[in-house]
Amino acid sequence: MTPNKPDLRSAIPKNAAFDPALVNKLMGKFGHGGFLDMEYVGHGNDWVELAIDWREDLVADPDTGILASAVVISLMDNATSMSIWTKLGEFRPQVTMDLRLDYLRPSPSGARVYGRGICYHLTHSIGFVRGFAHNGNPDDPLAHASGTFIRVGDRVS
Amino acid sequence: MNHTHPAGLPPYALALDMEIVDNVEGAPVIGMPFANKVQGRPGFLHGGAISGLLEIAAVAAIHQALRAKGSDSGIKQVNVTIDFMRGGVGHMTYAVGEVIRLGRTMANVEARAWQDDRTKPIAMATMHYLIRRPKIEGS
C-alpha cells in the first residue's frame, strides 16, 4: 500500500465541507501531481474531475505523441482518491490498495486528458471507486478505471 | 496504449529519470531515483509514479522477449492492474517485468517494484498487451 497523499489535514479548514478545488491546489501542484500539473475541473456529490494538459515530455512514443498510459493512472489515482473525500464530506487518511485501468484507445497528441473519479461505495475502512478518462467528451472515454482505497490510522497518515 | 520504441526509454520515463540499470533473467531492470516529481505524500512515492515504473519495466521486458524471438512486432497495452503493498520511501526504486506468456496475438506480463529488498515488493502489476505485427507495404 502506498501512503501517497500529502498531509492535507493541516491545510484544510476545520469545520468546513471538503473542497476538492482547494485540495487539488495541494495534491495537484505538489510532487508528482505538480510535475503533471493536474487541474481541478469540477465535482459533484460523489465525483471529482481533474485534467492534465498534453506535454511533449509525457508521451510514450515521440513519433505519434501518444500520452504515456501511466499519466492516465496518476490522474485517475488522484481523481478517485478525492472522490472518496468528496462523498464523505471530509478528509480521512487513506492509501491506494489497488487500481485497474482498461485502455480503450490512446490519448492523442496535443489533447488534454480529463479524469473523472467516482466513489460508488464507502465503508468504515474501504472506499470503492471507479472512473473514466476522456479528451473533452465524456461520452467518448479513452480509459476506464476501478479500484479500492483503504483508510489508514494516524500512525501512517 | 503504449507504443514505445524497442530501443531506448520513452520521453515519459526519461522525464522521471528512469534508466536501465541491470538485466536479470532476460529482462531489463529499470531504476527510478526518488525526487519531488515522483513524490505523493511528503517523503513517499506517488502511486502513479510507481505504476509508471512498472509499466515501463513491463514494456521493456516484452520488447526484449520479442527481439529474442527475432520478432519486430509492436505492442499495444490493453489493461493493467496494480496492487500497492508498501509505501515507497525516499530511496531508489527498481522494477522488472516478467513475460509470463508471449503468444502471437497477446502477451501476459507481470512486473514488480522494490526498493532495498527485492523479496519485499512495494507494488506489483499484471498487464495484457496486444502483439501487433508490422504492416507490410502493398499487402
Name residue B39's beta-bridge partners: B45
Asked if pLDDT for residue B102 goes beyond 80, the answer is yes
Say how far apart CA A43 and CA A46 lie, in whole Å: 8
At residue A80, the pLDDT reads 98
Residue with cell 485517475: A76
A78 touches chain B (CB under 8 A): yes
At residue A24, the pLDDT reads 87
At residue A7, the pLDDT reads 59
SS3 B49: helix
Residue numbers in A near B14 (CB within 8 A)? 57
How many other CB atoms are found less than 10 A from the CB of residue B92?
A: 12
| Pick among A10, A73, A78, A81 to test the B interface (most B CBs inside 10 A) | A73
Domain boundaries, chain A: 20-151
Say how far apart CA B123 and CA B28 lie, in whole Å: 17
Say how far apart CA B70 and CA B47 lie, in whole Å: 35
For residue range A99-121, list pLDDT tens digits in order.
999 999 999 999 999 999 999 99
What is the CATH number that goes with domain A20-151? 3.10.129.10
Contact A32 B40 (CB under 8 A): yes
Which domains occur in chain B, in start order?
11-132 (3.10.129.10)
* Mean pLDDT, rounded, of chain A: 90
B3 touches chain A (CB under 8 A): yes
Quote the DSSP letter at residue B45: B
A7 vs B32 pLDDT, higher one? B32
When pLDDT is cut at 50, 70 and 90, the band that residue B1 belongs to is very low
When pLDDT is cut at 50, 70 and 90, the band that residue B88 belongs to is very high
